[in-house]
């Protein structure tokens, strides 16, 4: 057990040492590297000559993120307007066979559809959809002709005669009292408490509308993320990150892109990237 512990400590020290060496290399390019921040809620980001890496990551993941963000820096040297345009695969790979490259890069980025951020959203969407179906069944138990795709007048007429009407659009509202009266707060989760005269099906209807709004927000967030992950700048950075983390897998998934990339790497199409990969990649 002691030998295993000592071996683990040596391995961690070696990883830490390599990470520091990578930071020194990147810093020589004039880039400031910060590792003691939350990276604006991301694992890392590159902007205006600065790379931030989240302090919450383990050392191995920090190295992978540093490679990813350094690839973004290299991309700015290939396409100076990339921060505005998000780049082009044509400029990155200098080939007319962009369809193949794009397809292969999608495979690497999505890796069977497993992007943590999108997986989390999909799980939430499934949960919310089930909640909506359950509420729908409860409402139809009293109103068989109820359709959740549109406003249901028999219920909304009752709601709109009270302050609960605000909860048809918002999950939580504050209503200022007149003439010194205390401010009142209403939430979709406290309908039965705040409006005791309501039938439970009315509370279910308000909660259903809230869940539908939440589902639309989740779908919108997923669409924005998908658009982000399909940007050429992000596809390239994830490709280079993959070459560092698992080059054998990248070669299998993206053989054409892999071969074309190394042709251009040898021709110094990607400034500083050959020196960086020769030193730190295990290819």
Q: What residue spans define the domains of the chain? A: 17-87+231-280, 118-227
Average pLDDT rounded to a whole number, residues 216-224: 96
Question: Does the pLDDT value for residue 114 go beyond 80?
Answer: no
pLDDT tens-place string over residues 36-46: 888 776 899 99
Indicate the DSSP class of residue 149: T
Q: Could you tell me if residue 278 is left (phi over 0), alpha (psi between -120 and 50 degrees) or otherwise beta?
A: alpha
d(CA 53, CA 43): 6
Whether 50 and 34 have beta carbons less than 8 Å apart is answered as: yes
Report the predicted TM-score, pTM, of the whole model to 2 decimal places: 0.78
Predicted confidence at residue 38, as pLDDT, reads 81
Share of the chain above pLDDT 90, in %: 83
pLDDT tens-place string over residues 160-213: 999 999 999 999 999 886 666 788 899 999 999 999 999 999 999 999 999 999
Question: Does the pLDDT value for residue 143 go beyond 90?
Answer: yes
d(CA 208, CA 170): 12
């Amino acid at each position: 057990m002691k030998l295993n512990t000592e071996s683990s400590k040596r391995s961690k020290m070696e990883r830490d040492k390599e990470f520091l060496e990578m930071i020194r290399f990147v810093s020589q390019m004039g880039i400031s590297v910060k590792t003691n921040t939350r990276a604006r809620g991301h694992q890392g980001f590159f902007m205006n000559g600065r790379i931030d890496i989240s302090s919450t990551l383990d050392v191995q993941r920090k190295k992978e993120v540093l490679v990813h963000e350094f690839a973004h820096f290299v991309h700015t040297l290939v396409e100076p307007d990339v921060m505005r345009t998000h780049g082009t695969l044509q400029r990155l790979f200098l080939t007319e066979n962009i369809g193949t490259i794009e397809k292969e890069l999608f495979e690497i980025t999505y890796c069977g559809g497993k992007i943590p951020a999108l997986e989390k959203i999909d799980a939430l969407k499934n949960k919310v959809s089930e909640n909506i179906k359950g509420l729908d069944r409860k409402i139809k138990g009293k109103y068989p002709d109820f359709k959740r795709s549109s406003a249901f007048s028999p219920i909304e007429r009752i709601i709109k005669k009270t302050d609960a009407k605000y909860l048809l659009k918002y999950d939580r509202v504050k209503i200022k009292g007149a003439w010194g009266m205390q401010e009142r707060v209403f939430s979709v989760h406290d309908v039965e408490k705040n409006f005791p005269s309501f039938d439970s099906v009315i509370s279910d209807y308000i909660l259903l509308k809230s869940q539908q709004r939440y589902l639309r927000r989740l779908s919108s967030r997923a669409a924005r993320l998908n658009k982000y992950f399909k940007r050429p700048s992000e596809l390239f950075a994830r490709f280079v990150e993959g070459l560092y983390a698992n080059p054998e897998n990248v070669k299998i998934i993206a053989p054409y892109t892999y071969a074309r990339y190394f042709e251009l790497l040898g021709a110094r199409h990607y400034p500083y990237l050959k020196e960086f990969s020769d030193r730190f990649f295990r290819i």
